[in-house]
């Protein structure tokens, strides 16, 4: 097996600082204190690949698009491609340059010339679209290590480790859709997925589905959860209310206009932070805190897709309440988490109660 590895070094940087994406926002993300996410995700994938298939031949791109991480995992690259023009700023893993779609496409085109059997990329939906464009007209499959803020496409593995396992073991591929959304519209609360391509992807259990946008009615659920929150007014409980339409209905039932796709913080009958970043959430937490979050329809992710503000540091300070309509749960076999902290992921795993109505709950397993 010959794998071409390319990383978008700025993927996901805007998430925890509330930018809902990083396209065209790298300078603002840095100003808000954002730290690179992709290198750690890439390292987890490459370390796992080295453990399960050390004989894999690997080609990669020059830093900051993968070379150091590939070498540190123990691989001696077959080929190191350079997608940069002479004089372009490349940056480092800690302060990556704002690489472009063209850099990704050049790297993938060079992998094709080297005869790779699979392109393993680290990024989000935008990176997936760039890889798919470069692979158009070929039978070479692609597989994503999820590192972006929004991960709508069905070309990603569930986790970095799963990506390595799939890359090492797959025996056939199927055609899957590559989706992306307009980030500026997304920041305004409008979600319009657009088909950007169709690509060959390894067939495996550990691939995520496309995001489903319909989730059924949630009125009675929202009323029940809001009633429970009101009963605790005056107790100083801080509620961290996640993004999405299901929790948005709870926010509306509480009587305030929520940020469209952001995380809002509520305490003792009032909003104390609207569209909060990770640091703003942490600043508002008190002695007793609760997260209310709903899984992504079709995928089942509770944490790790679309809500990076709910970081491991935030989650560890809170009790977690998961809410979902029955229709949404009918579309998923299990719930999932991908918090950037494997130890926390393991702690969260297991059977949990999911609130599905004013009083009703359903048992679901986090895997």
Tracing tokens 């942490």 back to the chain, one arrives at 282
pLDDT digit of tens for each residue in the chain (367 aa)?
Answer: 999 999 999 887 765 655 555 555 556 656 676 677 899 999 999 999 999 999 999 999 999 999 999 999 999 999 999 999 888 878 776 676 678 999 999 999 999 999 999 999 999 988 999 999 999 999 999 999 999 876 778 899 989 999 999 999 999 999 888 887 665 555 455 555 677 788 999 987 667 665 554 434 688 899 999 999 999 999 999 999 999 889 999 999 999 988 867 899 999 999 999 999 999 999 999 999 999 999 988 889 999 988 999 999 999 999 999 999 988 888 888 999 999 999 999 999 999 999 999 889 999 999 9
Would you say residue 77 lies in a domain? yes
Q: Find how far residue 365's CA is from the centre of its chain.
A: 20
Residues 233 and 114 in one domain: no
Would you say residue 208 lies in a domain? no
d(CA 43, CA 62): 15
Would you say residue 211 lies in a domain? no
Residues 192 and 235 in one domain: no
Residues 79 and 13 in one domain: yes
Would you say residue 20 lies in a domain? yes
Would you say residue 210 lies in a domain? no
User: Quick one: CA dihedral 218, 223, 228, 230, positive or negative?
Assistant: positive
Would you say residue 281 lies in a domain? yes
Final residue belonging to a domain, choices 173, 202, 231: 202
Among 153, 165, 168, residue whose Cα is nearest residue 210: 153
Residues 193 and 234 in one domain: no
User: What pTM value is reported for the model?
Assistant: 0.71
Final residue belonging to a domain, choices 135, 170, 202: 202
Would you say residue 251 lies in a domain? yes
C-alpha gyration radius of the chain: 21
SS3 call for 141: coil
Asked if 247 and 294 touch (Cβ cutoff 8 Å), the reply is: yes
Torsion-angle region of 20 (φ positive above 0: left; ψ -120 to 50: alpha; else: beta): left
Sequence-ordered list of residues with C-beta below 8 angstroms from that of 93, at least 6 positions apart, any chain: 9, 36, 39, 63, 64, 68, 69
Residues 180 and 240 in one domain: no
As a whole number of Å, the end-to-end CA separation of the chain is 29
Number of domains in the chain: 2
Would you say residue 324 lies in a domain? yes
Final residue belonging to a domain, choices 157, 175, 202: 202
Residues 112 and 231 in one domain: no
Which residue range(s) make up the domain with 348? 218-366
């Amino acid at each position: 097996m010959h794998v071409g590895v390319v990383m978008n070094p700025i993927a996901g940087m805007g998430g925890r600082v509330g930018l809902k994406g990083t396209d065209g926002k790298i300078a603002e993300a840095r100003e808000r204190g954002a730290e690179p996410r992709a290198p750690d995700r890439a390292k987890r994938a490459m370390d796992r690949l080295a453990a399960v298939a050390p004989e894999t031949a690997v080609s990669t791109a020059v830093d900051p698009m993968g070379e150091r991480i590939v070498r540190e995992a123990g691989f001696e690259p077959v080929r190191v491609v350079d997608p940069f023009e002479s004089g372009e700023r490349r940056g480092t893993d800690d302060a990556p340059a704002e690489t472009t779609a063209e850099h990704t496409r050049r790297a993938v085109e060079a992998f094709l010339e080297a005869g790779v059997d699979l392109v393993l990329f680290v990024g989000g939906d935008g990176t997936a679209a760039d890889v798919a464009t470069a692979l158009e007209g070929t039978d070479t499959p692609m597989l994503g290590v999820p590192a972006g803020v929004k991960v709508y496409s069905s070309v990603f593995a569930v986790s970095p480790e799963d990506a390595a396992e799939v890359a090492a073991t797959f025996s056939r591929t199927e055609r899957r859709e590559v989706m992306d959304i307009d980030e500026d519209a997304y920041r305004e609360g409008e979600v319009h997925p657009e088909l950007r391509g169709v690509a060959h992807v390894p067939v495996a259990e550990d691939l995520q589905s496309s995001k489903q946008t319909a989730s059924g009615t949630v009125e009675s659920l929202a009323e029940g959860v809001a009633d429970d929150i009101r009963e605790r007014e005056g107790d100083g409980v801080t509620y961290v209310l996640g993004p999405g339409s299901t929790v948005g209905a709870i926010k509306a039932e509480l009587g305030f206009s929520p940020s469209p796709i952001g995380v809002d913080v509520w305490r003792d009958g009032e909003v104390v932070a609207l569209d909060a970043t990770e640091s703003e959430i942490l600043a508002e937490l008190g002695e007793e805190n609760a997260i209310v979050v709903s899984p992504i329809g079709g995928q089942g992710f509770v944490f790790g897709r679309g809500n990076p503000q709910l970081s491991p540091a935030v989650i560890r300070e809170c009790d977690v309440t998961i809410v979902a309509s029955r229709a949404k749960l009918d579309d998923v076999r299990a719930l999932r988490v991908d918090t950037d902290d494997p130890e926390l992921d393991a702690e969260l795993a297991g059977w949990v109660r999911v609130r599905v109505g004013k009083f009703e709950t359903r048992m679901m397993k986090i895997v």
